[in-house]
Amino acid sequence: MPTASFHFPKGFQWGTATSSHQVEGGNTNNNWYKWEQEGHTAHKSGLASDWWGGRWKEDFDRAAEAGQNAHRLSVEWSRIQPTPDRWDEEALERYRIMLRGLRDRNIMPMVTLHHFTDPLWLGELGGWETDAVVPLFEKFTTKVVEALKEYCSLWCTINEPNAYATEGYLRRHFPPGKSDLKLDFRVQANMARAHASAYRAIHALQPEARVGYALHFRPQEPAHSWSPLDQLMRNITFGGFNTPFPSAISTGVLKSPLGRISVPEAKGTQDFFGLNYYSVDTVAFDLRKPEELYSRSFFPEGTDLADAGMNSNTPEGFFWAFKWAVKTYPNLPIIVTENGIEDSTDRIRPRYLAQHVHAMWRAVNFNWPIKGYFHWSLVDNFEWERGWTQRFGLWGIDIETQQRTKRPSADLYAAICKENGLTSEMVQKYCPEVYEKLFPA
Ligand code: IFM
């Protein structure tokens, strides 16, 4: 009997999340492969975590032994439809085998249909910049759902449409490396349209399906609450990044600081809200940053920051994200589709995990309808433009040998999954430095 504990409702899903290009390896027919060859990334994805080579089996074993009962993965469009007029049935069969592999281990799959990568041929047709993508994505969705519906009924149409658009059409970190705010919002509008038609296509094939998308939600705070300019920049950043896509789904209008795009067909097209939460940013007005629209995002001194400096440990932002979600989408189930931190030495991850699970528990206790949590990530994987410099896995991977090494957080997360909660003993064992914060006497 633990001394003190924070338990979750019966049936809560505990899992991990991954995506095709980040773990499969050997994806040579998509825009990211090209982007890597052109030298835009710190490293190349190469074999990634070698799941296409079969290592998914040992990694799913790890997840099952660690008490996980759910896993979110994505399918690779460029493998399944290598050219506009050809389907690769063998690739689909491989995904069927992987999903069966999850089911055999009592792990419920969630499948994402689009996670940042596009087939090369799609880019040649204009990618997400034109609404010609909408019927193409619907066709792809139909093909995948027909093939995989025996094993999966929980679908995420598009991962982080806001990050895809911002990184590819404003900040130039992702392909196609453009910087054009208008295009950024046009791409998000087309993603909302494609999401809506995929939503309907999935329900037509599988009435019991639960379908949603995953938003990268990044709360922002003004550097100085007394500064109207910092406040203004915070509001522009917040309204430019976090809210346009959600507004398209809740109201049928994609609202951005630049204007509005009508997407009436998107209104109400979700059965759950997928929340990807990592960290809070501080925003300041900065005249030296015209390319960032005169704003600067940073982590203030004293922040509990990961070594690689990409995310900080700010669990209060996680609670705030839930609060925002229930206000934006009243009564809609929430699934945490991603949450985690880059940390090769596991210095910060145990407390990050414990404090975020605690923040989620607080939210559950307001009867906010949170149904599951997918930690990012099961094993180290290819982190986009940052290559292999950021390690998000509960298990580390030596990329040369593909050898896995368990990080202490994997045991902490296993204890949480098996207990369906967080106990004082776990905190005492894995992150005693936050014991007083989580269990004040
Ligand atoms: O690795 C990414 C993932 O592909 C999308 N969400 C954020 C993760 C960590 O940066």
> 19 in ligand 1 pocket by Cβ < 6 Å?
yes
14-62+70-403 folds as TIM Barrel (3.20.20)
Give the residue extent of every domain in the chain. 14-62+70-403
Task: Provide the pLDDT for residue 266.
Answer: 98
Pocket of ligand 1, candidates 376, 379, 382: which has the most ligand atoms within 8 Å of its Cβ, to mutate? 376
Cα 242 to ligand 1 centroid, rounded to whole Å: 15
User: How far is it, in rounded angstroms, from Cα 355 to Cα 346?
Assistant: 15
Cα 381 to ligand 1 centroid, rounded to whole Å: 10
Atom of ligand 1 nearest to the CA of 310: 10
Atom of ligand 1 nearest to the CA of 311: 10
Specify whether the CB–CB gap between 161 and 241 falls below 8 A.
Answer: no
Burial environment of residue 260 by CB neighbours within 10 A (0 to 12, 13 to 18, 19 or more): middle
Atom of ligand 1 nearest to the CA of 17: 3
Cα 436 to ligand 1 centroid, rounded to whole Å: 31
Report pLDDT digits (tens) over 11-24: 999 999 999 999 99
> 167 in ligand 1 pocket by Cβ < 6 Å?
no
Task: Provide the pLDDT for residue 111.
Answer: 99
Report pLDDT digits (tens) over 214-245: 999 999 999 999 999 999 999 999 999 999 99
Cα 162 to ligand 1 centroid, rounded to whole Å: 12
Task: Provide the pLDDT for residue 92.
Answer: 98
Cα 195 to ligand 1 centroid, rounded to whole Å: 20
Task: Provide the pLDDT for residue 1.
Answer: 67
Q: Name the pTM for this structure.
A: 0.98
> 32 in ligand 1 pocket by Cβ < 6 Å?
no
Task: Provide the pLDDT for residue 120.
Answer: 98
Cα 61 to ligand 1 centroid, rounded to whole Å: 23
Closest protein CA for atom 10 of ligand 1: 383
Which residue ranges of the chain lie beneath pLDDT 50? none
> 376 in ligand 1 pocket by Cβ < 6 Å?
yes
For residue 19, give the nearest of 163, 232, 189, 202 by alpha carbon: 163
